[in-house]
Amino acid sequence: MVDFHTHILPKMDDGSDSAEESAAMLKQLAAQGVDTVALTSHFYARDEAPDSFLERREKALERLQPVLTEDGMPRVLSGAEVYYFRGFSRIGQLPDLRMEGSRILLLEMPFCTWGEKELGEIIDLCGDPSFVVLLAHVERYWKYQKASVWDRLLSAGVMTQSNAECFLYPRTRRKAARLVQNGYIHVLGTDCHNMGARQPRMGEAVAVLERQLGSETTRRFTARGEEYLEEWRV
Ligand SMILES: [Fe+2]
């Protein structure tokens, strides 16, 4: 199983604070059946140049290296959670912000109704064969856009990631399971930040999905993550 969205790299953002905490997060994910973890630290173009981000990411990965070679650790893929700004698709180093080995760009959008400029830029990027746009924690934007906007984005090839947590709350879990069933949610991520209030909860989310959709549908859904990584290889 793949976790497409985490803040595990130590001291990169508001996620893990140390290599020890990162190790605990990775171990917890492994125990929950996750064998591939995307390391998607926040990237804010308004605060930092891509070069500086990539250099910091490299160093954080080096700090984590001794942990990654321990027995039973999941495979990790470096990546980024790129925050949208108008013109983001023209960043020269955008390909370097994709998930390692793949064309996937994890994109975080503002929590508001998107206008034609935003929609047009996402849809245009989907037309570029070098990228697969994966919208981070899609459930957070759901209510702000009309149903027709989602249909438009999905038919342009936009992919969606949902946070494991939204399968855990009684208020949202039924709807989330329905969205998986109807093909509006493509992949899962924990969006874990630490071992406290925002720890990895993939195992619990999968258990809820199994109760809602049955084990075979859930198995097929979670297996799709690996298939997408293969399908979207660089
Ligand atoms: Fe995140």
Query: Residue 13 is part of a domain; what is its CATH number?
Result: 3.20.20.140
> Which residue's structure tokens are 């960043």?
91
Residue 194, pLDDT score: 97
Report how far ligand 1's centroid is from the alpha carbon of 163 (Å). 9
What percent of the chain lies above the pLDDT cut of 70?
Answer: 100
User: Helix, strand, coil shares of the chain as percentages rounded to 5?
Assistant: 45, 15, 40
210 sits in which H/E element? helix 202-213
109: number of Cβ within 10 Å: 18
Rounded to an integer, what distance in angstroms lies between the CA atom of residue 198 and that of residue 170? 18
Across 218-229, average pLDDT: 97
Residue 11, pLDDT score: 96
Rounded to an integer, what distance in angstroms lies between the CA atom of residue 153 and that of residue 105? 15
Nearest to 105 by CA among 134, 125, 127, 136: 134
Residue 157, pLDDT score: 97
Tell me the residues surrounding ligand 1 (ion) with CB < 5 Å. Answer: 81, 191
Across 123-148, average pLDDT: 96
Report how far ligand 1's centroid is from the alpha carbon of 234 (Å). 23
- Residue 199 CB-half CA count within 13 A: 14
Number of separate domains in the chain: 1
Report how far ligand 1's centroid is from the alpha carbon of 51 (Å). 20
The parent domain of residue 202 ranges over 2-231
- Residue 142 CB-half CA count within 13 A: 15
Cα 149 to Cα 58, 118, 144, 198: the distances in Å are 37, 11, 10, 30
Report how far ligand 1's centroid is from the alpha carbon of 7 (Å). 7
Report how far ligand 1's centroid is from the alpha carbon of 97 (Å). 14
User: Quick one: pLDDT band at residue 76, thresholds 50, 70, 90?
Assistant: very high
The SS3 of residue 107 is strand
Phi, psi of 6 (to 5 degrees): -145, 160
Summary mean pLDDT of the chain = 96
Phi, psi of 200 (to 5 degrees): -65, 130
Report how far ligand 1's centroid is from the alpha carbon of 42 (Å). 7
Report how far ligand 1's centroid is from the alpha carbon of 171 (Å). 21
Q: Which of the residue ranges 12-16, 94-98, 131-135, 177-181 would you say has the lowest mean pLDDT?
A: 177-181
Q: Are 228 and 57 in contact (CB under 8 A)?
A: no
User: Quick one: pLDDT band at residue 88, thresholds 50, 70, 90?
Assistant: very high
